[in-house]
Amino acid sequence: MNSDRRALEKIVSHALSGKGAHVEAHSAFEGLDWKLAGICPGGVQHSIFQLLNHMLYWQEWVMKWLDGEEPPIPEHASGSWPGSVSPSNEEEWERVVGRLGTVLDELSARSREGDLFSMRLSAGTEESRLGMLHTIGSHNSYHLGQVVLLRQMLGAWPPPSGWLTW
């Protein structure tokens, strides 16, 4: 494998996880009480649990796309916000948080497969594997920022492992 390919794979992996740019995805949810994950403080539209499920929805959608499938795009934005406002118990919360790590690992593995520059028609537009991975990395970044802000509003930040400060 050439050094350009390795560098590109590292960039994609960091974009998916948040590493090097901001809080890593797994840290954003670390140590959060499952009951707090279901609260919408101060009139915020979505809880942390909803944000997590939404992120997973699109990550799993991208995995299907990368695997050559044609996953349907929801008719309305609400179709990509599955599940309830809050987890029903701690086990459900832990399962969904664990799924995040698994899906990010699977996406990272797919970023090392095939030609990242190959183009494919999807939903009326042409997109490359690299473009799709970039899109989901940006999507993750956007929503991880929301998770951090909600945790701050709930008095549940930083996570137990701490947080970088400058």
Q: Is residue 159 part of a domain?
A: no
pTM: 0.92
Q: Is residue 160 part of a domain?
A: no
Q: Is residue 21 part of a domain?
A: yes
Residues 6+ apart with CB under 8 A from 76: none
The total number of structural domains in the chain stands at 1
List pLDDT tens digits, range 46-82.
999 999 999 999 999 999 999 999 999 999 999 999 9
Question: Residue 130 and residue 137: Cα distance in Å, rounded?
Answer: 10
71 lies in which domain range? 3-153
Q: Is residue 85 part of a domain?
A: yes
Domain with residue 11: its CATH number is 1.20.120.450
Q: Is residue 77 part of a domain?
A: yes
Q: Is residue 104 part of a domain?
A: yes
Q: Is residue 163 part of a domain?
A: no
Is 9 a residue whose pLDDT tops 90? no
Q: Is residue 88 part of a domain?
A: yes
